[in-house]
Structure 1
Amino acid sequence: MALRADWLPALAAFEAAARHQNFAHAAEELHLTASAVSHHVRKLESRLGVSLFQRHARGVALTPQGRQLADAAGTALADVDGVLRSLRLAREERDRVRITTLHSLAYTWLLPRLPEFARAHPHIQLSVDTEIALARFDDSGPDLGIRHGAGHWPGLTSHFLMADALFPVTSPRTPGVEAIVEPAQIAELPLIADHARQGWHDWFRAAGVHGRKLEERYTFSDTTDALMAAAHGLGAALAREQIVVPYLRSGQLMRLPGPKMTARWSYYAIYPAHRRLRPAARAFLDWLLAVEKE
């Protein structure tokens, strides 16, 4: 006997009633009334010509035939539910882009630009990871990364996004800032450092300042924290050109005298060389590259 589509509501009601051994609880799960569940079960029993439940004053219990059908219906509906879930997740993953980047770049450069991407691609979901550890680009890893470096990483394809430069900044409220008119005087301020490969010694050398003892009083692992420390008046930080823009615009920080030093490393969009980007990830990469051409 072929299973007809009009059997499905009755089978679903029966399967829920069999699991709960209670029509009222099954009805609550299915958003039906208990009488509707009972009607579906009786309709199924009538079509099959067997009793599926023993009905008594305290509730219902499965008959041997009911147990046989409950086992089959439960397995079948669980299988269908599993397939539906996997299809739904596959659709969601198809439209999801997983990105790994630096916290400082996400906070000050990427986030202010994301509304533009969201307007152009409202169906794409983004997951942004800013953990310090470098991500592994395996099957469960990110689709794309934005890294700061020389542009060459084994096994990864890289696209140049933007160059970088360094210059000193501090809060307008920093004591004594109004008296600083030349680079050498910056060394008299408490210096704030991060874990970047280029630092204060490099900048003072580029500024032509030699023979000064430099005291890096505060050190932070993340550039954002170093800039916030400077914004709170703790001293002078060496800012990255792409990162510091919001702080300068808001007046939290001001640029100090001295040159803008070209950084040795730049920002790149990267992804595994062996992996073809899915359409959603390709759309995000194309948007990244277009943003920096504007």
Structure 2
Amino acid sequence: MVIRPALLPALAVFAAAARHQNFAHAAEELHLTASAVSHHVRKLESLLGSTLFQRHARGVTLTPEGRQLADAATTALADVSAVAANLKPDAGTRVLKISTVHSLVHCWLLPRLAAFLAAHPDIRLEIDSTPVFARFDEGGPDLAVRYGPGQWPGLVAHHLMDDAMFPVASPRLPGVEAIREPRQIATLPLISDLTQQGWRDWFRAAGVRGLELPAMHNFSDSADALRAAAFGIGATLARRHLVLDWLQRGELVRLPGPVMKARFSYYAVYPAHRPLSPAASRFIDWIKQEAQAAPWADEPGRRTPGVRRRRA
């Protein structure tokens, strides 16, 4: 059976619906309504004479026939996308669009980025660090670096680096020189951010019980919390990768107590239906190498008071 060109939009809509196995999520990605997605799918089912989705109260699931068509459609659309990318007139320069969180850009990526660009002079970067999750539609990013559990619907996730947390403060913060044990940190002004793990979790990991925490200064971004700590506003819980350069410059010092393994890690993600570009693959490989070379990369549970100074 030959699929008429007029039905190609329905095939593209079906591929998105198959990837999400949710008409509403596919509609959001394609800027359509859920009823429009359903209409396209039924149109395709009518042409093929096959049921592509099983409908039930909790949503939809692919039938065996639907799975076969989804695999073929995803491969075909990915091939077309790859060929279209190679047709751009400026083939010598590759633009790599990356969406990521501001704290990672400010504290970890920018100090290292010159080395990556020197090794790959053909790549031009477009980095978006707005706090909204990236939409991988036309003109969107090639990949995103997310901090989370590692599973997002419709996305392939590559693990980049784990995370851990420990308390830090400016060496000029009044009273910091007298801190000898974790419980005493609660006598300092404390800073928090919007991370799902905070001071209560850390004090629990440190074996401190029955502690009444003071009112804290709150910042929405981890980089801002670190900067506030460096200016002597208070002590904060630092993420291992973000704080490294602050410690090496001596603007922050590590306080006594354990390193707490974080619930979340950093991942590079991209749509399952889109092949990863060579530039994006090189970027992912580079981040992994940088993370492995960094201090503490293999010491998530080590207990060491004071500042550890090692060169990356």
Report the TM range for the smaller structure's normalisation: 0.5 to 0.7
What is the 5 A alignment of 1:1-294? 90-91=89-90, 95-294=94-293
Please tell me whether the aligned partners of residues 161 and 268 of structure 1 are also in contact (alpha carbons under 8 angstroms): yes
- Measured against aligned partners, the alpha-carbon deviations of 1:124-147 in whole angstroms (never above 9, x if no partner) come to 100111111111111221111111
Where 2:285 maps in the other structure, the secondary structure is: helix
Where 1:187 maps in the other structure, the secondary structure is: helix
Please tell me whether the aligned partners of residues 92 and 122 of structure 2 are also in contact (alpha carbons under 8 angstroms): no
Structure 1 gap segments, 5+ residues each? 1-86
Structure 2 gap segments, 5+ residues each? 1-85, 294-312
- Once the 2 structures are TM-superposed, how far is the Cα of residue 156 of structure 1 from its aligned partner? 0.7
Please tell me whether the aligned partners of residues 192 and 216 of structure 1 are also in contact (alpha carbons under 8 angstroms): no
Please tell me whether the aligned partners of residues 102 and 146 of structure 1 are also in contact (alpha carbons under 8 angstroms): yes
| Aligned mates of 2:102, 2:191 — CA distance in 1 | 18
| Aligned mates of 2:224, 2:266 — CA distance in 1 | 20
| Aligned mates of 1:258, 1:90 — CA distance in 2 | 56
Please tell me whether the aligned partners of residues 149 and 268 of structure 1 are also in contact (alpha carbons under 8 angstroms): yes
Please tell me whether the aligned partners of residues 161 and 288 of structure 2 are also in contact (alpha carbons under 8 angstroms): no
- Once the 2 structures are TM-superposed, how far is the Cα of residue 293 of structure 1 from its aligned partner? 4.1
**What's the RMSD between the two structures over aligned residues?**
2.0
Where 1:244 maps in the other structure, the secondary structure is: helix
- Once the 2 structures are TM-superposed, how far is the Cα of residue 284 of structure 1 from its aligned partner? 1.9
The count of corresponding residues between Structure 1 and Structure 2 is 209
Structure 2 counterpart of 1:38? none
Where 1:157 maps in the other structure, the secondary structure is: strand
| Aligned mates of 1:189, 1:276 — CA distance in 2 | 50
| Aligned mates of 1:281, 1:102 — CA distance in 2 | 17
| Aligned mates of 2:196, 2:237 — CA distance in 1 | 12
Which amino acid letter does the alignment assign opposite residue 191 of structure 1? L
Q: Kindly, what percent of the aligned residue pairs are identical?
A: 56
Structure 2 counterpart of 1:61? none
| Aligned mates of 2:113, 2:212 — CA distance in 1 | 43
The structure whose Rg is larger is: 1
- Once the 2 structures are TM-superposed, how far is the Cα of residue 92 of structure 1 from its aligned partner? 6.9
- Measured against aligned partners, the alpha-carbon deviations of 1:187-223 in whole angstroms (never above 9, x if no partner) come to 1111100000000000000011111111242100000
So what's the TM-score if we normalise by structure 1?
A: 0.67
- Once the 2 structures are TM-superposed, how far is the Cα of residue 165 of structure 1 from its aligned partner? 0.5
- Once the 2 structures are TM-superposed, how far is the Cα of residue 94 of structure 1 from its aligned partner? 6.2
